[in-house]
Structure 1
Amino acid sequence: MSSEKLDLLSRHSLFIVEPTSQHTHTFIFLHDLGSNGEEFSHQLLETGTCSDGRKLPEVFQGARFIFPTAKSRRSSAYGQAKLTQWFDIASLDDPWHQSQTQLMGLVESTREILKLVNEEVQVLKIPRSNIIIGGHGHGCAMALFCLLALDFPLGAFIGMSGWLPFQPDIEQLLNYEDEIDKFTDYPFSFFRSTHDEEPRDPAIDVVEYSRDLVCFPNPIKDATSIATPIFLGHSDLDEKVKHSFGENASTTLSSIGYNVTWKSYRNQGHWYKMPDEIDDIVDFMQHRVDKGSGNT
Protein backbone atom coordinates (compact mmCIF):
# COMPACT_ATOMS: atom_id res chain seq x y z
CA MET A 1 0.00 0.00 0.00
CA SER A 2 1.39 3.42 -0.94
CA SER A 3 2.27 6.05 1.63
CA GLU A 4 -0.35 8.37 0.10
CA LYS A 5 -3.03 5.78 0.74
CA LEU A 6 -1.84 5.28 4.29
CA ASP A 7 -2.07 9.04 4.88
CA LEU A 8 -5.62 9.01 3.50
CA LEU A 9 -6.64 6.20 5.83
CA SER A 10 -5.07 8.04 8.73
CA ARG A 11 -7.03 11.19 7.90
CA HIS A 12 -10.28 9.24 7.94
CA SER A 13 -9.55 8.19 11.54
CA LEU A 14 -9.43 11.81 12.77
CA PHE A 15 -12.31 13.81 14.17
CA ILE A 16 -11.42 17.51 14.21
CA VAL A 17 -13.18 20.49 15.76
CA GLU A 18 -11.81 23.66 14.20
CA PRO A 19 -11.26 26.89 16.17
CA THR A 20 -13.86 29.64 16.17
CA SER A 21 -11.19 32.36 16.00
CA GLN A 22 -7.61 32.57 14.71
CA HIS A 23 -5.89 29.19 15.15
CA THR A 24 -3.23 29.56 17.85
CA HIS A 25 -3.27 26.26 19.79
CA THR A 26 -3.90 22.57 19.11
CA PHE A 27 -5.18 19.92 21.50
CA ILE A 28 -4.67 16.24 20.59
CA PHE A 29 -6.85 14.06 22.81
CA LEU A 30 -6.80 10.23 22.81
CA HIS A 31 -9.88 8.17 23.62
CA ASP A 32 -10.24 5.31 26.06
CA LEU A 33 -10.23 1.57 25.36
CA GLY A 34 -12.97 0.56 22.91
CA SER A 35 -14.08 4.11 22.11
CA ASN A 36 -13.30 6.32 19.09
CA GLY A 37 -12.30 9.89 18.34
CA GLU A 38 -15.74 11.18 17.39
CA GLU A 39 -17.43 9.68 20.44
CA PHE A 40 -14.79 11.06 22.80
CA SER A 41 -15.04 14.47 21.15
CA HIS A 42 -18.78 14.66 21.77
CA GLN A 43 -18.37 13.45 25.35
CA LEU A 44 -15.60 15.88 26.26
CA LEU A 45 -16.49 18.99 24.25
CA GLU A 46 -20.28 18.86 24.45
CA THR A 47 -20.88 17.52 27.96
CA GLY A 48 -17.71 18.70 29.74
CA THR A 49 -18.69 22.07 31.17
CA CYS A 50 -17.05 24.49 33.58
CA SER A 51 -18.84 25.76 36.68
CA ASP A 52 -19.75 28.91 34.72
CA GLY A 53 -21.46 26.78 32.04
CA ARG A 54 -18.83 27.23 29.34
CA LYS A 55 -17.41 24.33 27.34
CA LEU A 56 -13.77 23.94 26.29
CA PRO A 57 -14.23 25.29 22.72
CA GLU A 58 -15.83 28.41 24.23
CA VAL A 59 -12.99 28.89 26.68
CA PHE A 60 -10.23 28.21 24.12
CA GLN A 61 -11.65 29.79 21.00
CA GLY A 62 -8.34 29.71 19.15
CA ALA A 63 -7.84 26.00 19.74
CA ARG A 64 -8.11 23.21 17.20
CA PHE A 65 -9.20 19.93 18.83
CA ILE A 66 -7.98 16.71 17.18
CA PHE A 67 -9.44 13.35 18.24
CA PRO A 68 -7.74 10.39 16.50
CA THR A 69 -9.23 6.90 16.53
CA ALA A 70 -7.04 3.96 17.51
CA LYS A 71 -6.61 0.92 15.31
CA SER A 72 -8.86 -2.10 15.92
CA ARG A 73 -6.69 -4.77 17.55
CA ARG A 74 -7.11 -8.17 19.20
CA SER A 75 -7.41 -7.64 22.95
CA SER A 76 -5.58 -10.01 25.30
CA ALA A 77 -7.56 -8.61 28.24
CA TYR A 78 -10.89 -9.37 26.51
CA GLY A 79 -10.31 -12.87 25.18
CA GLN A 80 -8.84 -11.78 21.82
CA ALA A 81 -11.96 -9.81 20.88
CA LYS A 82 -11.27 -6.96 18.43
CA LEU A 83 -11.70 -3.45 19.77
CA THR A 84 -10.13 -0.06 19.27
CA GLN A 85 -7.02 0.25 21.43
CA TRP A 86 -3.77 2.15 21.11
CA PHE A 87 -1.83 -0.88 22.32
CA ASP A 88 -2.71 -4.29 23.69
CA ILE A 89 -2.69 -4.99 27.42
CA ALA A 90 -2.85 -8.41 29.00
CA SER A 91 -4.63 -7.40 32.22
CA LEU A 92 -6.84 -4.50 33.24
CA ASP A 93 -6.01 -5.08 36.91
CA ASP A 94 -2.28 -5.04 36.19
CA PRO A 95 -1.56 -3.02 33.03
CA TRP A 96 2.18 -3.80 33.37
CA HIS A 97 1.65 -7.57 33.18
CA GLN A 98 3.34 -9.08 30.12
CA SER A 99 4.39 -5.64 28.89
CA GLN A 100 5.92 -7.12 25.74
CA THR A 101 2.38 -7.49 24.33
CA GLN A 102 2.17 -3.70 24.25
CA LEU A 103 5.16 -2.98 22.05
CA MET A 104 3.67 -3.42 18.56
CA GLY A 105 0.76 -1.09 19.30
CA LEU A 106 2.99 1.41 21.07
CA VAL A 107 5.29 1.62 18.06
CA GLU A 108 2.46 2.14 15.57
CA SER A 109 0.44 4.54 17.71
CA THR A 110 3.42 6.62 18.83
CA ARG A 111 4.45 7.18 15.22
CA GLU A 112 0.91 8.23 14.22
CA ILE A 113 0.48 10.63 17.14
CA LEU A 114 3.89 12.24 16.68
CA LYS A 115 3.06 12.63 12.99
CA LEU A 116 0.03 14.69 14.02
CA VAL A 117 2.20 16.85 16.26
CA ASN A 118 4.73 17.42 13.49
CA GLU A 119 2.02 18.31 10.97
CA GLU A 120 0.65 20.98 13.27
CA VAL A 121 4.15 22.44 13.65
CA GLN A 122 5.42 22.11 10.08
CA VAL A 123 2.26 22.59 8.01
CA LEU A 124 0.05 24.83 10.16
CA LYS A 125 2.98 26.62 11.84
CA ILE A 126 1.67 26.14 15.37
CA PRO A 127 4.53 26.49 17.89
CA ARG A 128 5.34 23.36 19.88
CA SER A 129 4.70 25.44 23.00
CA ASN A 130 1.07 25.78 21.87
CA ILE A 131 0.42 22.06 21.33
CA ILE A 132 -1.24 20.07 24.10
CA ILE A 133 -1.61 16.29 24.15
CA GLY A 134 -3.50 14.06 26.54
CA GLY A 135 -6.30 11.60 26.89
CA HIS A 136 -8.63 9.57 29.07
CA GLY A 137 -7.95 6.12 30.53
CA HIS A 138 -6.13 4.00 27.97
CA GLY A 139 -5.68 7.17 25.89
CA CYS A 140 -4.02 8.93 28.81
CA ALA A 141 -1.54 6.05 29.11
CA MET A 142 -0.77 6.20 25.38
CA ALA A 143 -0.29 9.96 25.46
CA LEU A 144 2.01 9.71 28.49
CA PHE A 145 4.22 7.24 26.67
CA CYS A 146 4.37 9.61 23.67
CA LEU A 147 5.37 12.45 25.97
CA LEU A 148 8.23 10.43 27.47
CA ALA A 149 9.47 9.51 23.98
CA LEU A 150 9.54 13.11 22.77
CA ASP A 151 12.87 14.88 22.42
CA PHE A 152 11.26 18.33 22.72
CA PRO A 153 8.75 19.91 25.14
CA LEU A 154 5.12 20.67 24.35
CA GLY A 155 2.79 23.30 25.75
CA ALA A 156 1.12 20.95 28.23
CA PHE A 157 -0.14 17.46 28.95
CA ILE A 158 -3.67 16.73 30.21
CA GLY A 159 -4.37 13.23 31.51
CA MET A 160 -7.53 11.83 33.05
CA SER A 161 -7.97 8.46 34.78
CA GLY A 162 -4.84 6.87 33.32
CA TRP A 163 -1.60 5.13 34.20
CA LEU A 164 2.05 5.18 33.15
CA PRO A 165 3.11 2.35 30.78
CA PHE A 166 6.29 0.50 31.82
CA GLN A 167 6.21 2.29 35.17
CA PRO A 168 7.98 -0.55 37.10
CA ASP A 169 10.82 -0.52 34.54
CA ILE A 170 11.06 3.27 34.67
CA GLU A 171 11.21 3.23 38.46
CA GLN A 172 13.98 0.64 38.31
CA LEU A 173 15.76 2.84 35.82
CA LEU A 174 15.47 5.88 38.11
CA ASN A 175 17.00 3.86 40.95
CA TYR A 176 19.77 2.34 38.86
CA GLU A 177 22.54 3.75 41.06
CA ASP A 178 21.22 1.66 43.95
CA GLU A 179 20.47 -1.34 41.76
CA ILE A 180 23.70 -1.38 39.77
CA ASP A 181 25.60 -2.65 42.80
CA LYS A 182 23.37 -5.74 42.84
CA PHE A 183 23.83 -6.76 39.20
CA THR A 184 26.88 -7.33 37.08
CA ASP A 185 25.03 -7.02 33.76
CA TYR A 186 22.42 -4.29 34.09
CA PRO A 187 19.60 -4.64 31.52
CA PHE A 188 19.73 -1.08 30.17
CA SER A 189 22.59 -0.96 27.68
CA PHE A 190 22.64 2.83 27.34
CA PHE A 191 23.70 3.48 30.94
CA ARG A 192 27.04 5.10 31.50
CA SER A 193 29.66 3.32 33.57
CA THR A 194 29.62 3.91 37.31
CA HIS A 195 33.09 5.37 36.79
CA ASP A 196 31.70 8.27 34.72
CA GLU A 197 32.41 11.62 36.29
CA GLU A 198 29.11 13.29 35.32
CA PRO A 199 25.89 12.02 36.94
CA ARG A 200 23.06 10.91 34.68
CA ASP A 201 20.00 13.12 34.19
CA PRO A 202 16.97 10.89 34.92
CA ALA A 203 14.94 12.60 32.20
CA ILE A 204 17.56 11.67 29.62
CA ASP A 205 17.61 8.06 30.79
CA VAL A 206 13.82 7.86 30.52
CA VAL A 207 13.56 9.42 27.07
CA GLU A 208 16.31 7.13 25.77
CA TYR A 209 14.61 4.09 27.27
CA SER A 210 11.19 5.08 25.87
CA ARG A 211 12.60 5.78 22.41
CA ASP A 212 14.51 2.53 22.49
CA LEU A 213 11.26 0.62 23.13
CA VAL A 214 9.74 2.02 19.90
CA CYS A 215 13.01 1.89 17.93
CA PHE A 216 13.50 5.67 17.73
CA PRO A 217 17.05 7.07 17.55
CA ASN A 218 18.50 8.61 20.69
CA PRO A 219 17.66 12.31 21.10
CA ILE A 220 20.11 14.86 19.77
CA LYS A 221 22.04 16.75 22.47
CA ASP A 222 20.18 14.97 25.27
CA ALA A 223 16.90 16.75 24.46
CA THR A 224 13.75 15.78 26.40
CA SER A 225 10.15 16.87 27.01
CA ILE A 226 10.90 17.61 30.67
CA ALA A 227 9.73 21.25 30.42
CA THR A 228 6.18 20.13 29.56
CA PRO A 229 3.81 20.84 32.47
CA ILE A 230 1.55 17.88 33.29
CA PHE A 231 -2.00 17.77 34.67
CA LEU A 232 -3.24 14.41 35.98
CA GLY A 233 -6.72 13.92 37.40
CA HIS A 234 -8.21 10.72 38.80
CA SER A 235 -11.38 9.79 40.65
CA ASP A 236 -11.35 7.78 43.86
CA LEU A 237 -14.12 5.36 42.78
CA ASP A 238 -12.62 4.53 39.38
CA GLU A 239 -13.61 0.92 38.77
CA LYS A 240 -11.54 0.42 35.59
CA VAL A 241 -8.21 2.14 36.29
CA LYS A 242 -7.32 2.17 39.97
CA HIS A 243 -6.92 5.56 41.60
CA SER A 244 -3.51 4.44 42.88
CA PHE A 245 -2.32 3.92 39.28
CA GLY A 246 -2.82 7.61 38.53
CA GLU A 247 -1.33 8.73 41.82
CA ASN A 248 1.73 6.53 41.32
CA ALA A 249 2.15 7.88 37.79
CA SER A 250 2.19 11.39 39.24
CA THR A 251 4.89 10.41 41.75
CA THR A 252 7.08 8.71 39.14
CA LEU A 253 6.78 11.58 36.67
CA SER A 254 7.71 14.03 39.42
CA SER A 255 10.74 11.87 40.23
CA ILE A 256 11.85 12.12 36.60
CA GLY A 257 11.69 15.91 36.91
CA TYR A 258 8.35 16.88 35.38
CA ASN A 259 6.21 19.61 36.93
CA VAL A 260 3.06 17.62 37.73
CA THR A 261 -0.26 18.97 38.94
CA TRP A 262 -2.10 16.07 40.60
CA LYS A 263 -5.83 16.26 41.37
CA SER A 264 -7.91 13.59 43.10
CA TYR A 265 -11.72 13.65 42.89
CA ARG A 266 -14.19 12.09 45.31
CA ASN A 267 -17.31 10.06 44.56
CA GLN A 268 -16.70 9.65 40.82
CA GLY A 269 -16.09 6.56 38.71
CA HIS A 270 -14.10 6.11 35.49
CA TRP A 271 -14.85 9.52 34.05
CA TYR A 272 -14.01 13.14 34.68
CA LYS A 273 -15.64 15.00 37.55
CA MET A 274 -17.87 17.86 36.48
CA PRO A 275 -17.50 20.70 36.84
CA ASP A 276 -14.51 20.31 39.17
CA GLU A 277 -12.08 18.59 36.81
CA ILE A 278 -13.00 20.76 33.83
CA ASP A 279 -12.47 23.86 35.99
CA ASP A 280 -9.09 22.52 37.11
CA ILE A 281 -8.03 21.78 33.53
CA VAL A 282 -8.99 25.28 32.40
CA ASP A 283 -7.15 26.85 35.34
CA PHE A 284 -4.08 24.69 34.63
CA MET A 285 -4.10 25.69 30.97
CA GLN A 286 -4.59 29.39 31.56
CA HIS A 287 -1.66 29.56 33.96
CA ARG A 288 0.86 27.35 32.13
CA VAL A 289 0.40 27.66 28.37
CA ASP A 290 1.53 30.54 26.16
CA LYS A 291 -0.84 33.46 25.75
CA GLY A 292 -2.78 33.95 22.55
CA SER A 293 -5.17 31.01 22.79
CA GLY A 294 -8.18 33.18 22.08
CA ASN A 295 -9.52 32.79 25.61
CA THR A 296 -12.57 34.78 26.56
Structure 2
Amino acid sequence: MANPFPSPFVVEAQTSHTHTAILLHGLGGHGEHFGTELIASATSSGQHRTLQEVFPGMKFLFPTSRRTRSTVFKRAKVNQWFDISSLDDRTHGEEVGIDGLAETSNYIRGLIQIEIENGIPAKCILLGGLSQGLAASLYTLLTLNPQLQIGAYIGMSGYFPFVKDIEKIIQGEEDDIGSDDIFGTEDDEADSTVAQQTKGETNLATQAVNFVRENIDLSPLEPSATLSCLDIPVFIGHGELDERVSLETGKRARDALQAMGMNVTWHQYANLGHWYKVPDEIDDIVEFIQQWLEF
Protein backbone atom coordinates (compact mmCIF):
# COMPACT_ATOMS: atom_id res chain seq x y z
CA MET A 1 0.00 0.00 0.00
CA ALA A 2 1.37 3.42 -0.98
CA ASN A 3 2.36 5.86 1.73
CA PRO A 4 -0.41 8.53 1.86
CA PHE A 5 1.76 11.14 3.61
CA PRO A 6 3.67 13.92 1.82
CA SER A 7 7.45 13.69 1.83
CA PRO A 8 8.99 15.03 5.06
CA PHE A 9 11.01 18.23 5.12
CA VAL A 10 14.58 17.14 5.79
CA VAL A 11 17.46 19.23 7.10
CA GLU A 12 20.59 17.17 6.71
CA ALA A 13 23.31 17.07 9.35
CA GLN A 14 26.08 19.64 8.85
CA THR A 15 28.77 17.12 9.77
CA SER A 16 28.80 13.33 9.96
CA HIS A 17 25.24 12.14 10.60
CA THR A 18 25.10 10.68 14.13
CA HIS A 19 21.64 11.65 15.41
CA THR A 20 18.13 12.19 14.04
CA ALA A 21 15.30 14.36 15.35
CA ILE A 22 11.75 13.62 14.13
CA LEU A 23 9.44 16.51 15.04
CA LEU A 24 5.74 16.92 14.18
CA HIS A 25 3.97 20.21 13.42
CA GLY A 26 0.67 21.34 14.91
CA LEU A 27 -2.90 21.42 13.56
CA GLY A 28 -3.01 23.23 10.22
CA GLY A 29 0.77 23.33 10.04
CA HIS A 30 3.32 22.02 7.58
CA GLY A 31 6.63 20.26 8.07
CA GLU A 32 8.70 22.78 6.12
CA HIS A 33 7.16 25.86 7.74
CA PHE A 34 7.46 24.43 11.25
CA GLY A 35 10.94 23.04 10.69
CA THR A 36 12.43 26.11 9.03
CA GLU A 37 11.42 28.34 11.94
CA LEU A 38 12.35 25.88 14.68
CA ILE A 39 15.88 25.12 13.54
CA ALA A 40 16.54 28.84 13.05
CA SER A 41 15.57 29.59 16.68
CA ALA A 42 18.66 30.55 18.64
CA THR A 43 19.83 29.99 22.18
CA SER A 44 20.47 32.88 24.54
CA SER A 45 23.97 31.88 25.59
CA GLY A 46 27.32 31.99 23.87
CA GLN A 47 27.09 32.98 20.22
CA HIS A 48 23.30 32.63 20.06
CA ARG A 49 23.63 29.43 18.09
CA THR A 50 20.68 27.73 16.38
CA LEU A 51 19.65 24.14 17.09
CA GLN A 52 21.35 23.08 13.90
CA GLU A 53 24.58 24.79 14.99
CA VAL A 54 24.44 23.33 18.50
CA PHE A 55 23.89 19.81 17.11
CA PRO A 56 25.78 19.75 13.76
CA GLY A 57 25.64 15.93 13.57
CA MET A 58 21.84 15.82 13.87
CA LYS A 59 19.54 15.36 10.91
CA PHE A 60 16.18 17.06 11.43
CA LEU A 61 13.15 15.31 9.95
CA PHE A 62 9.88 17.26 9.85
CA PRO A 63 6.99 15.12 8.55
CA THR A 64 3.87 16.75 7.12
CA SER A 65 0.43 15.41 7.98
CA ARG A 66 -2.20 14.43 5.46
CA ARG A 67 -4.76 17.02 4.40
CA THR A 68 -8.10 15.57 5.47
CA ARG A 69 -11.62 16.74 6.25
CA SER A 70 -12.00 18.21 9.72
CA THR A 71 -15.03 17.74 11.96
CA VAL A 72 -14.34 20.89 13.96
CA PHE A 73 -13.90 23.01 10.80
CA LYS A 74 -17.18 21.85 9.24
CA ARG A 75 -15.62 19.26 6.92
CA ALA A 76 -13.10 21.66 5.41
CA LYS A 77 -9.79 20.03 4.48
CA VAL A 78 -6.87 20.89 6.76
CA ASN A 79 -3.47 19.46 7.59
CA GLN A 80 -4.08 17.35 10.68
CA TRP A 81 -2.52 14.27 12.23
CA PHE A 82 -5.96 13.17 13.41
CA ASP A 83 -9.48 14.58 13.46
CA ILE A 84 -10.88 16.52 16.43
CA SER A 85 -14.38 17.54 17.52
CA SER A 86 -13.61 20.61 19.65
CA LEU A 87 -11.00 23.33 19.90
CA ASP A 88 -12.11 24.31 23.40
CA ASP A 89 -12.21 20.88 25.04
CA ARG A 90 -9.70 18.42 23.59
CA THR A 91 -11.35 15.55 25.50
CA HIS A 92 -14.71 16.06 23.73
CA GLY A 93 -15.62 13.61 20.99
CA GLU A 94 -12.13 12.18 20.76
CA GLU A 95 -13.37 9.04 19.02
CA VAL A 96 -13.29 10.84 15.67
CA GLY A 97 -9.49 10.93 15.92
CA ILE A 98 -8.77 7.24 16.50
CA ASP A 99 -8.19 6.32 12.86
CA GLY A 100 -5.86 9.28 12.37
CA LEU A 101 -3.90 8.48 15.52
CA ALA A 102 -3.49 4.90 14.32
CA GLU A 103 -2.38 5.90 10.83
CA THR A 104 -0.04 8.65 12.03
CA SER A 105 1.65 6.65 14.76
CA ASN A 106 2.21 3.79 12.34
CA TYR A 107 3.78 6.19 9.84
CA ILE A 108 6.10 7.80 12.41
CA ARG A 109 7.15 4.43 13.81
CA GLY A 110 8.12 3.56 10.24
CA LEU A 111 10.26 6.69 9.93
CA ILE A 112 12.06 5.75 13.16
CA GLN A 113 12.69 2.26 11.85
CA ILE A 114 14.16 3.64 8.62
CA GLU A 115 16.65 5.74 10.60
CA ILE A 116 17.68 2.69 12.62
CA GLU A 117 18.09 0.60 9.46
CA ASN A 118 20.27 3.38 8.05
CA GLY A 119 22.67 3.04 10.97
CA ILE A 120 21.44 5.55 13.55
CA PRO A 121 21.27 3.90 17.00
CA ALA A 122 17.87 4.08 18.67
CA LYS A 123 19.44 5.92 21.62
CA CYS A 124 20.47 8.68 19.17
CA ILE A 125 16.92 9.35 17.94
CA LEU A 126 14.82 12.23 19.28
CA LEU A 127 11.03 12.27 18.82
CA GLY A 128 8.59 15.05 19.55
CA GLY A 129 6.13 17.63 18.35
CA LEU A 130 4.18 20.83 18.85
CA SER A 131 0.50 21.00 19.84
CA GLN A 132 -1.35 18.26 17.91
CA GLY A 133 2.10 17.07 16.88
CA LEU A 134 2.82 16.45 20.56
CA ALA A 135 -0.40 14.46 20.88
CA ALA A 136 0.33 12.30 17.84
CA SER A 137 4.02 11.77 18.62
CA LEU A 138 3.16 10.86 22.21
CA TYR A 139 0.95 8.04 20.91
CA THR A 140 3.85 7.01 18.70
CA LEU A 141 6.17 6.98 21.71
CA LEU A 142 3.87 4.78 23.78
CA THR A 143 3.31 2.31 20.93
CA LEU A 144 6.93 1.73 19.93
CA ASN A 145 8.20 -1.83 19.81
CA PRO A 146 8.16 -2.81 23.52
CA GLN A 147 11.91 -3.41 23.52
CA LEU A 148 12.85 -0.32 21.49
CA GLN A 149 14.13 2.61 23.53
CA ILE A 150 14.88 5.80 21.65
CA GLY A 151 17.00 8.54 23.21
CA ALA A 152 14.49 11.18 24.29
CA TYR A 153 11.20 12.93 23.61
CA ILE A 154 10.36 16.66 23.48
CA GLY A 155 6.86 18.13 23.40
CA MET A 156 5.65 21.71 23.22
CA SER A 157 2.22 23.18 23.96
CA GLY A 158 0.26 19.97 23.53
CA TYR A 159 -1.94 17.37 25.17
CA PHE A 160 -2.44 13.65 25.77
CA PRO A 161 -5.32 12.14 23.73
CA PHE A 162 -7.82 10.19 25.86
CA VAL A 163 -6.12 11.41 29.03
CA LYS A 164 -9.33 10.88 31.02
CA ASP A 165 -9.16 7.16 30.33
CA ILE A 166 -5.48 7.03 31.28
CA GLU A 167 -6.22 8.83 34.54
CA LYS A 168 -8.92 6.31 35.44
CA ILE A 169 -6.59 3.40 34.76
CA ILE A 170 -3.73 4.85 36.78
CA GLN A 171 -6.09 5.59 39.66
CA GLY A 172 -7.38 2.00 39.54
CA GLU A 173 -10.88 3.07 38.50
CA GLU A 174 -11.12 0.98 35.33
CA ASP A 175 -14.04 -1.43 35.10
CA ASP A 176 -13.37 -4.72 36.90
CA ILE A 177 -15.27 -7.37 34.97
CA GLY A 178 -16.96 -9.77 37.32
CA SER A 179 -16.62 -7.60 40.40
CA ASP A 180 -20.37 -7.69 40.94
CA ASP A 181 -20.78 -11.43 40.42
CA ILE A 182 -23.60 -12.40 42.81
CA PHE A 183 -22.51 -16.04 42.60
CA GLY A 184 -18.96 -15.35 43.78
CA THR A 185 -17.73 -17.25 46.86
CA GLU A 186 -15.81 -15.97 49.87
CA ASP A 187 -12.69 -17.58 48.41
CA ASP A 188 -13.26 -15.66 45.16
CA GLU A 189 -13.52 -12.42 47.12
CA ALA A 190 -10.33 -13.23 49.03
CA ASP A 191 -8.49 -13.97 45.79
CA SER A 192 -9.74 -10.71 44.33
CA THR A 193 -8.54 -8.77 47.37
CA VAL A 194 -5.06 -10.28 47.14
CA ALA A 195 -4.94 -9.54 43.42
CA GLN A 196 -5.85 -5.92 44.04
CA GLN A 197 -3.23 -5.60 46.77
CA THR A 198 -0.51 -7.03 44.54
CA LYS A 199 -1.44 -4.88 41.54
CA GLY A 200 1.57 -2.59 41.60
CA GLU A 201 2.45 0.57 39.75
CA THR A 202 4.12 -1.36 36.92
CA ASN A 203 0.94 -3.34 36.29
CA LEU A 204 -1.11 -0.14 36.10
CA ALA A 205 1.43 1.36 33.71
CA THR A 206 1.11 -1.72 31.50
CA GLN A 207 -2.66 -1.31 31.51
CA ALA A 208 -2.27 2.33 30.50
CA VAL A 209 0.11 1.47 27.65
CA ASN A 210 -2.23 -1.31 26.54
CA PHE A 211 -5.15 1.13 26.49
CA VAL A 212 -3.18 3.33 24.09
CA ARG A 213 -2.22 0.32 21.96
CA GLU A 214 -5.70 -1.18 21.81
CA ASN A 215 -7.22 2.26 21.19
CA ILE A 216 -5.48 2.27 17.81
CA ASP A 217 -5.96 -1.45 17.12
CA LEU A 218 -2.56 -2.75 18.22
CA SER A 219 -2.28 -6.00 20.13
CA PRO A 220 -1.97 -5.57 23.92
CA LEU A 221 1.28 -6.48 25.67
CA GLU A 222 1.62 -9.27 28.19
CA PRO A 223 1.73 -8.10 31.84
CA SER A 224 5.37 -9.19 32.01
CA ALA A 225 6.37 -7.42 28.79
CA THR A 226 9.29 -5.00 28.73
CA LEU A 227 8.05 -1.41 28.69
CA SER A 228 11.06 0.40 27.28
CA CYS A 229 8.89 3.35 26.25
CA LEU A 230 8.39 4.25 29.91
CA ASP A 231 12.16 4.64 30.35
CA ILE A 232 12.43 7.30 27.64
CA PRO A 233 13.01 10.75 29.21
CA VAL A 234 10.35 13.32 28.31
CA PHE A 235 10.50 17.12 28.05
CA ILE A 236 7.27 19.13 27.98
CA GLY A 237 7.12 22.91 27.69
CA HIS A 238 3.93 24.96 27.87
CA GLY A 239 2.99 28.63 27.81
CA GLU A 240 1.06 30.01 30.77
CA LEU A 241 -1.07 32.13 28.40
CA ASP A 242 -1.79 29.37 25.88
CA GLU A 243 -5.20 30.19 24.41
CA ARG A 244 -5.56 27.03 22.32
CA VAL A 245 -4.35 24.28 24.65
CA SER A 246 -4.69 25.48 28.22
CA LEU A 247 -1.86 25.20 30.72
CA GLU A 248 -4.00 22.85 32.80
CA THR A 249 -4.47 20.58 29.79
CA GLY A 250 -0.70 20.41 29.41
CA LYS A 251 -0.31 19.66 33.11
CA ARG A 252 -2.76 16.77 32.80
CA ALA A 253 -0.51 15.22 30.17
CA ARG A 254 2.51 15.70 32.41
CA ASP A 255 0.78 14.24 35.44
CA ALA A 256 -0.52 11.20 33.54
CA LEU A 257 2.92 10.39 32.16
CA GLN A 258 4.53 10.81 35.58
CA ALA A 259 1.86 8.56 37.11
CA MET A 260 2.81 5.93 34.53
CA GLY A 261 6.35 6.10 35.90
CA MET A 262 7.96 8.22 33.20
CA ASN A 263 10.72 10.74 33.86
CA VAL A 264 9.15 14.06 32.80
CA THR A 265 10.96 17.39 32.73
CA TRP A 266 8.33 20.13 32.84
CA HIS A 267 8.76 23.83 32.05
CA GLN A 268 6.05 26.46 31.93
CA TYR A 269 6.72 29.88 30.49
CA ALA A 270 5.26 33.22 31.54
CA ASN A 271 3.88 35.53 28.85
CA LEU A 272 3.78 32.73 26.28
CA GLY A 273 0.75 31.70 24.24
CA HIS A 274 0.40 28.71 21.93
CA TRP A 275 3.95 28.31 20.68
CA TYR A 276 7.46 27.79 22.02
CA LYS A 277 9.45 30.50 23.77
CA VAL A 278 12.64 31.83 22.24
CA PRO A 279 15.25 31.76 23.63
CA ASP A 280 14.11 30.35 27.00
CA GLU A 281 12.51 27.12 25.77
CA ILE A 282 15.21 26.57 23.17
CA ASP A 283 17.80 26.82 25.97
CA ASP A 284 15.86 24.27 28.03
CA ILE A 285 15.49 21.90 25.07
CA VAL A 286 19.22 22.09 24.31
CA GLU A 287 20.07 21.33 27.94
CA PHE A 288 17.63 18.42 27.96
CA ILE A 289 18.99 16.91 24.74
CA GLN A 290 22.57 17.25 25.93
CA GLN A 291 21.64 15.53 29.17
CA TRP A 292 19.88 12.52 27.70
CA LEU A 293 21.08 11.79 24.17
CA GLU A 294 24.35 9.96 23.66
CA PHE A 295 26.93 12.14 21.87
Aligned to 1:24: 18
Q: 1:126 aligns with which of 120, 127, 130?
A: 120
Aligned 8 A contact 2:91 2:163 in 1: yes
Instruction: Please tell me the residue identity of whatever aligns with 1:223.
Output: T
SS for the counterpart of 1:226 is: helix
**Alpha-carbon distance between aligned partners in 1 of 2:151 and 2:142, rounded to the nearest angstrom:** 14
Q: 2:165 aligns with which of 162, 169, 172?
A: 169
Aligned to 1:85: 80
Q: Percent identity?
A: 40
Number of aligned residues: 277
Aligned to 1:199: 199
Structure 1 residue 79: deviation in Å? 1.5
Aligned to 2:149: 153
Aligned 8 A contact 2:157 2:237 in 1: yes
Aligned 8 A contact 1:148 1:206 in 2: no
Aligned to 1:271: 275
CA gap of 1:179–1:60, structure 2 versus 1, over 3 A, is same
CA gap of 1:171–1:287, structure 2 versus 1, over 3 A, is same
Instruction: Please tell me the residue identity of whatever aligns with 1:60.
Output: F
CA gap of 1:135–1:178, structure 2 versus 1, over 3 A, is closer
Structure 1 residue 216: deviation in Å? 1.4
Q: How does 1:109-258 map to 2 (within 5 A)?
A: 109-122=104-117, 124-150=118-144, 151=146, 152-176=148-172, 180=176, 184=180, 196=195, 198-200=198-200, 201=202, 202-219=204-221, 222-224=225-227, 225-258=229-262
User: What TM-score does the superposition give when structure 2 sets the normalisation length?
Assistant: 0.88
Instruction: Please tell me the residue identity of whatever aligns with 2:112.
Output: V
Aligned to 2:58: 63
Structure 1 residue 218: deviation in Å? 2.8
- Runs of 4+ in structure 1 off by over 6 angstroms are none
Which 5+ residue runs of structure 1 have no aligned equivalent? Answer: 186-192, 292-296
Instruction: Please tell me the residue identity of whatever aligns with 2:14.
Output: T
CA gap of 1:26–1:184, structure 2 versus 1, over 3 A, is farther
Structure 1 residue 94: deviation in Å? 0.9
Structure 1 residue 215: deviation in Å? 1.3
SS for the counterpart of 1:159 is: strand
Aligned 8 A contact 2:69 2:77 in 1: yes
SS for the counterpart of 1:139 is: helix
**Alpha-carbon distance between aligned partners in 2 of 1:283 and 1:59, rounded to the nearest angstrom:** 11
User: What TM-score does the superposition give when structure 1 sets the normalisation length?
Assistant: 0.88
SS for the counterpart of 1:222 is: coil
Aligned 8 A contact 1:167 1:252 in 2: yes
Q: 1:51 aligns with which of 44, 48, 52?
A: 44
CA gap of 1:175–1:69, structure 2 versus 1, over 3 A, is same
Aligned 8 A contact 1:27 1:66 in 2: yes
Which 5+ residue runs of structure 2 have no aligned equivalent? Answer: 182-191
SS for the counterpart of 1:176 is: coil
Structure 1 residue 149: deviation in Å? 1.7
Aligned to 1:290: 294
User: Which protein shows a greater Rg?
Assistant: 2
Structure 1 residue 97: deviation in Å? 0.7
